[in-house]
Amino acid sequence: MEFLPTVIRAEHRGGLRIRVTFNDGVEDTIDFSEWLAGPIFEPLKDPGYFARFFLDGGTVAWPNGADIAPETLYERAKSSAAA
């Protein structure tokens, strides 16, 4: 069975940054600004709304239904750790 990354903890780190921890212990502070294109992500550009995230389906999500795939977040976290 292939590993499925799941966000198990997320903490707001100011602005558009969230510290995420995955089910295998990988963690990183990720700047979400590059993913905030398109109508569904427009409200997230407001730092107050952005901070209203919660965990849903193993990833970070917002009240308007926006989310970023956990695999995308995991790849970013892994590439940051390797750098």
Per-residue pLDDT tens digits for 20-57: 999 999 999 999 999 999 999 999 999 999 999 999 99
CB 64 within 8 A of CB 46: no
pLDDT at 1 over 60: no
pLDDT on residue 80: 82
pLDDT at 81 over 90: no
* pTM, full prediction: 0.93
Q: Point out which residues pair with 67 in neighbouring strands.
A: 61
Q: Is 9 exposed, middle or buried (0-12, 13-18, 19+ CB in 10 A)?
A: exposed
Q: What is the mean pLDDT of the chain?
A: 95
pLDDT on residue 83: 67
Q: Is 38 exposed, middle or buried (0-12, 13-18, 19+ CB in 10 A)?
A: exposed
